[in-house]
Amino acid sequence: MHVLAAEEVTDRPLAWPVVSHQVRGSGAVSDFVNDAVQVPDGGLMNRQYLLHPGAVGVVAWDAEDRIAVVRQYRHPVSFELLEPPAGLLDADGESWLAAAQRELAEEAGLQAGDWRVLVDVFTSPGAGQESLRIYLARELAAAPVPDGFVAHDEEAHMEVAWAERRDLVAAILAGRLENPTMVSGVLALEVARLSGRLDDLRAADAPWPARAARDAHNAELAGLDGHAG
C-alpha cells in the first residue's frame, strides 16, 4: 500500500458505461432509478439510487461568534433537526451563490457582505446523486423576505435562532447534532478558523466539479430507454 502524494489526494470524475436505465418511481424532488452498469471486467452490476437536483447550505457566522440556525422537522428520520439555512438547486437559471443568498434571506431573514465556499459534499454517494455546497457567510445584516416567498409545510413551522459556534461544535462532537449540512459546515469552519485559513477559503464562484459530472451523467441517462424526465 503506497502513500498518496499531495496531488493524488483528490476525488476523480469517472463514469462507467450505463447499459440500461429504468425509472422505478418519481417524486416531487427525486426519481428512484435502476441502472445496469458495465464494470471494467465486462460484467454488469445493477445500482438503485435517487436522482437529485443538488442543494446549497449557509453557515452564517456573525461578529459575536454566533451561527444562524433553523429547527426543522425531517419526516424520513423522525427528528426535528437543528440545521443551517439550506435549500434545493431547483430554480432554472439560478446560480449556486444566488440560491444560497435566497435561502439565507427566506429562512433566516439575513444577507451577507462576504461569501466564501466552506466545503463541498456528496451527502450519500452510495444511495443518491445529491451534491451539496456549503457557504460561509459573514458581514451579516437583516434582509427582507424575497418577493413572492411563502413558507409551506415544514418550513412554515421552523424555529429560527442563533447558536454559539462553540456550542455547535461541542454538540456535534457529543453526537447531539446529525444534520450533514450542520456537521460538515460547522466542522469545516472550525478547521479553517483554527488553522488560520479563513482568508484562503475558495471564492464564492469557485468551480464545483460535481455539478458538471451530474450534468454529463444525466445527459447520458436521457438518451437511454426507460428514462422519464
Q: Which of 204, 223, 210, 186 is nearest to 135 (CA)?
A: 204
Q: 219 vs 17, 160, 224, CA distance in Å?
A: 13, 39, 9
DSSP 121: E
The answer to whether 168 and 186 have CB atoms below 8 angstroms apart is: yes
Based on the domain organization, do 45 and 61 belong to the same domain?
no
Residue 137: enclosing H or E segment and its boundaries?
strand 131-142
Say what the pLDDT of residue 159 is: 93
Active-site residue among 155, 178, 190, 220?
A: 155
The pLDDT of residue 142 is above 70: yes
By percentage, how much of the chain surpasses pLDDT 70?
Answer: 96
Average pLDDT over residues 90-104: 95
Which amino acid is it at 17? P
Based on the domain organization, do 62 and 127 belong to the same domain?
yes
The pLDDT of residue 196 is above 60: yes
With respect to residue 97, please indicate whether it lies within any of the assigned structural domains. yes
Say what the pLDDT of residue 225 is: 62
- CA 75 to centroid of chain Cα atoms: 18
Say what the pLDDT of residue 150 is: 72
Residue 213: enclosing H or E segment and its boundaries?
helix 209-222
Average pLDDT over residues 86-106: 95
With respect to residue 8, please indicate whether it lies within any of the assigned structural domains. no
Angle 170-121-164 (CA atoms, 0-180°, nearest 5)? 25
Measured CA to CA, the distance from residue 207 to residue 3 in angstroms comes to 27
Say what the pLDDT of residue 6 is: 97
Based on the domain organization, do 36 and 124 belong to the same domain?
no
Based on the domain organization, do 39 and 96 belong to the same domain?
no
Based on the domain organization, do 100 and 196 belong to the same domain?
yes
198 grid coordinates:
479563513
155 is catalytic: yes
Based on the domain organization, do 135 and 201 belong to the same domain?
yes
Say what the pLDDT of residue 59 is: 98
Split at pLDDT 50, 70, 90, the class of 144 is confident
Split at pLDDT 50, 70, 90, the class of 227 is very low
Exposed/middle/buried for 219, CB within 10 Å: 0-12, 13-18, 19+? exposed
Based on the domain organization, do 89 and 130 belong to the same domain?
yes
With respect to residue 6, please indicate whether it lies within any of the assigned structural domains. no
Based on the domain organization, do 46 and 150 belong to the same domain?
no
Based on the domain organization, do 41 and 113 belong to the same domain?
no
Average pLDDT over residues 55-84: 97
With respect to residue 107, please indicate whether it lies within any of the assigned structural domains. yes
Q: Which of 134, 141, 83 is nearest to 110 (CA)?
A: 141
Based on the domain organization, do 82 and 149 belong to the same domain?
yes
Average pLDDT over residues 138-154: 82
Q: How many domains does the chain have?
A: 2
Based on the domain organization, do 132 and 30 belong to the same domain?
no
The pLDDT of residue 18 is above 50: yes
* CATH code of the domain covering residue 165: 3.90.79.10
The pLDDT of residue 219 is above 60: yes
The pLDDT of residue 125 is above 80: yes
With respect to residue 65, please indicate whether it lies within any of the assigned structural domains. yes
Based on the domain organization, do 42 and 60 belong to the same domain?
no
With respect to residue 3, please indicate whether it lies within any of the assigned structural domains. no
Say what the pLDDT of residue 229 is: 38
The pLDDT of residue 228 is above 50: no
Mean pLDDT computed over every residue of the chain? 94
With respect to residue 128, please indicate whether it lies within any of the assigned structural domains. yes
Residue 68, domain extent: 55-205
Say what the pLDDT of residue 226 is: 55
